[in-house]
Structure 1
Amino acid sequence: YAQSAPRKFKADLIYTWLPQSAAFGLWSGYPVVLEMHADTAGRFGAWWLRQFWMSRGHKRMLVTTQALRKALERSTRLQFPDEAVQAAPNGVDLDRYANLPAPAEARRQLNLKDGLTVGFSGHFYAGRGMDLLFELARALPDVNFLWAGGTPDAVEEWRAKLNAVRASNVTLTGFIENSRLPLYQSAADVLLMPYGRAISASSGQNIAEVINPMKMFEYMAAGRPMITADLPAIREVLDETRAVFCEPGDVSAWTSAVKKLLSDEKRRATLAANARRAIGKYTWLARAQRALENMS
């Protein structure tokens, strides 16, 4: 299919996330852009990526982080040519984040509790920091927490845990339609990325070393300050002028950081403004244009 489909649709180029399709594309004489979001997996993953690099043809590989490039070079035992590798972090659609209301107004529109609110959006998978979020809610009973996302089973599991310790300051929304997500994110005064040092992907891989979360760009676009786990891959996009960093899993450090940021409105505004200014180069359109430049 990787060979017949381009001919059928009279393609000028092949753009794929699969190393095997990328290799077949080169063998068929097409220019190929291969996008990688994680290290190779499976018995033949690294072998197929080696075939892509060892085959002739006009090629480019996109990596979401420089850390991922290093991981892929280790897996394939190759050193990739700089001119054929492009760092391409994930992005965001800025139109979805235009003209968002202030936190208090967003909470009013969503019928959420009034008062300072700390938010999290995303999956409740292992390594996403749910245990830390739970401990923060217990440590800060006077702060509202908004957990947006989670499967029905995961939501019920965490609701039961919160009820068991009588933590009534957490709102669990369950699944949120993507079109509504910016409004929920904007309802928070502070947003959290509480990743651990081991983060499970759907493939079962630990992606902590190479993670490039889309929520990071969404938070930046939402114009809200964030506190994030201090992971090297995240520092490829953020620095101390755009976010507060905390040691993964350190409940005391995170509790202190949340308290300090909630009590300092000026710093919240500065961090949010710096991150919002930086988001312009991380749009999906800009990413696509860079990915395809000079590939025809």
Structure 2
Amino acid sequence: MIRPSGAVEPAPSVVLLLNNPFLTDSRSWKLASTLAAAGYRVTVVARHRDALPQREERDGFTILRVAQPPPPRWILAPPLPADTAPAVLGPTQVVREVVGRTLQGIRFVLLARRWAEAIGHNVSRADIWQAEGLVTLPLALALRRRGGGRVVYDSRDVHVESGRFARLPGPWRWLLRRRERAWVRAADALLTVSRPYADVLEETFGRAATIVMNTQPAWQRPDPPPRRFHERLGLGPDERVVLYLGQVVAHRGIEELCDAIGLVERAVLVVVGFGARYETFRARAAALPHAARIHFLPGVAPEEIPAWTASADVSAMPVQAATLNHRLNTPTKLFDAMGAGTPVVASDLPGMAPIIRETGCGVLCDPNDAADIARAIRAILDAPPEVRARYRDACLDAARGPYGWQPQAERLLTLYATLGAPAPGGSG
């Protein structure tokens, strides 16, 4: 097709594919906002849920929530062992796990085809289909076959070594890894969130990964910082706030953190988030002798995270090494804390520890030991004012430098340019 002289080329179109309703997915929000600001036409396709609007215009991009079609009725869905089930399963649970995971895999493949068709009715073409996680990768590949474009796989985790995937019986985990390898090699580019993850993915898939860390966009920390938790919870002026922000699930050290706060004077723990163990952990905390000093609040929108994080005195992230994925984890809340100037207490694990040591932004701990978590918290809260100020400045300096969002955005835009979809106007 020959365009008339002076005709303006349309901006490249990008579709981010999410397996969630896009309420608290801060990484996808940063990616979409950054791409929209660079001039791309951005659509975020998320799962429709309850009374959420099917279409929204936010921050320069479009959100489309598409209902996930029901799986074929002829495939049974037996109950699977819970995430908290013992690591060594009994014979009945083993059979349920093996058979159930097999049927679940078949359901997923068929469901992915149906879901891709449903999405294709709403978004027929794109220059870039970006899969935000393993579940949406086959969707992106199917949509590329239907409407052209390129596929980017954003592997936020070492998926086969995370969550329920890590609990699969060996043969099924091998099959899933083999299937993922084929999907990844069929994609046009691979993204991930950290160097430790990139090392594993590059060895597994035999292709280079571009690292776009989950860092925080520039945010001006007020002086003095906000006191949102004190206002929300009616705390006294001398009470110190320890924040856990994120998914309330197993192996995040939340139980140990609840125990640890009882060993720290004049301090309260606030758990802000969502997840399968939210009510379980809240009930456990309510039975502790110091229950009055533990508060559970719902998750907050991505754009509200900096102000809430800056309202805390310490941000705690005692992730436990339950899987390889956890060992190598560099949680978003680490970079949220840096951007907000809030010192961190973090696990002494290969994912986080090198960053903490390099930047001096906090104190490391044994995430399985409540007493050691308490020690690390006290090391910050009870430090002289000039030491606490050094922690704060170390956080802010890191966020202004290599652990800020601008270097990540530049890498993302450079990758898109190599895929033939440069930012309009040549930026990136």
Please give the range of the TM-score, normalised by the shorter of the 2 chains. 0.7 to 0.9
Inter-partner Cα distance in structure 1 for 2:179 and 2:299? 37
User: How do 1:57-96 and structure 2 match up within 5 A?
Assistant: 59-73=188-202, 76=204, 78-80=205-207, 84-94=208-218
User: How do 1:1-296 and structure 2 match up within 5 A?
Assistant: 1=116, 5=120, 9-17=124-132, 18-21=136-139, 30-41=149-160, 45-52=176-183, 54-55=185-186, 59-73=188-202, 76=204, 78-80=205-207, 84-94=208-218, 97-100=219-222, 102=224, 105-110=227-232, 111-115=234-238, 116-150=240-274, 154-155=278-279, 157-178=280-301, 179-198=303-322, 207-235=325-353, 237-239=355-357, 241-264=360-383, 265-280=385-400, 281-282=402-403, 286-293=407-414, 294-296=418-420
Inter-partner Cα distance in structure 1 for 2:131 and 2:287? 47
The TM-score with structure 2 as length reference comes to: 0.56
Alignment length (residue pairs): 279
Q: Which amino acid aligns with 1:242?
A: C
How far has the Cα of 1:141 moved from its partner?
Answer: 4.4
SS in 2 for 1:268: helix
In structure 2, the partner of 1:202 is none
8 Å contact from structure 1 (residues 224, 268) kept in 2:
no
- When the two chains are superposed, the root-mean-square deviation of aligned CA atoms in Å is 3.4
- Unmatched 5+ stretches in structure 1: 200-205
How far has the Cα of 1:225 moved from its partner?
Answer: 0.7
8 Å contact from structure 1 (residues 39, 68) kept in 2:
yes
8 Å contact from structure 2 (residues 339, 399) kept in 1:
yes
Q: Which amino acid aligns with 2:155?
A: M
- Unmatched 5+ stretches in structure 2: 1-115, 166-171, 421-428
8 Å contact from structure 1 (residues 118, 188) kept in 2:
yes
Seen in structure 2, the aligned counterparts of structure 1 residues 196 and 9 have a Cα distance that, compared at 3 Å, is same
Seen in structure 2, the aligned counterparts of structure 1 residues 14 and 159 have a Cα distance that, compared at 3 Å, is closer
How far has the Cα of 1:24 moved from its partner?
Answer: 5.2
8 Å contact from structure 2 (residues 221, 340) kept in 1:
no
How far has the Cα of 1:158 moved from its partner?
Answer: 4.2
Inter-partner Cα distance in structure 2 for 1:26 and 1:180? 35
Inter-partner Cα distance in structure 2 for 1:164 and 1:16? 42
How far has the Cα of 1:127 moved from its partner?
Answer: 0.8
Q: Which amino acid aligns with 1:50?
A: R
8 Å contact from structure 2 (residues 144, 151) kept in 1:
yes
SS in 1 for 2:327: coil
Q: Which amino acid aligns with 1:209?
A: R
Which stretch of the first structure deviates more once superposed, 160-169 or 263-272?
Answer: 160-169
How far has the Cα of 1:122 moved from its partner?
Answer: 2.1
How far has the Cα of 1:25 moved from its partner?
Answer: 7.0
Which stretch of the first structure deviates more once superposed, 127-136 or 182-191?
Answer: 182-191
8 Å contact from structure 1 (residues 103, 187) kept in 2:
yes
8 Å contact from structure 2 (residues 258, 269) kept in 1:
no
How far has the Cα of 1:228 moved from its partner?
Answer: 0.5
Q: Which amino acid aligns with 2:181?
A: R
8 Å contact from structure 2 (residues 212, 409) kept in 1:
no
How far has the Cα of 1:169 moved from its partner?
Answer: 4.7
How far has the Cα of 1:125 moved from its partner?
Answer: 0.9
Larger radius of gyration: 2
Which stretch of the first structure deviates more once superposed, 30-39 or 98-107?
Answer: 98-107
Inter-partner Cα distance in structure 2 for 1:12 and 1:120? 38
Q: Which amino acid aligns with 1:79?
A: G
Greater relative CO (CA pairs within 8 A, separation 6+): 1
SS in 2 for 1:15: strand
Percent identity among equivalent residues?
Answer: 21
Q: Which amino acid aligns with 1:287?
A: Q
Cα deviation 1:46-86 (Å, max 9, x = unaligned): 3344334555x8x3211112322343356x4x432xxx421
Inter-partner Cα distance in structure 1 for 2:313 and 2:137? 42
Inter-partner Cα distance in structure 2 for 1:146 and 1:103? 17
Seen in structure 2, the aligned counterparts of structure 1 residues 26 and 184 have a Cα distance that, compared at 3 Å, is closer
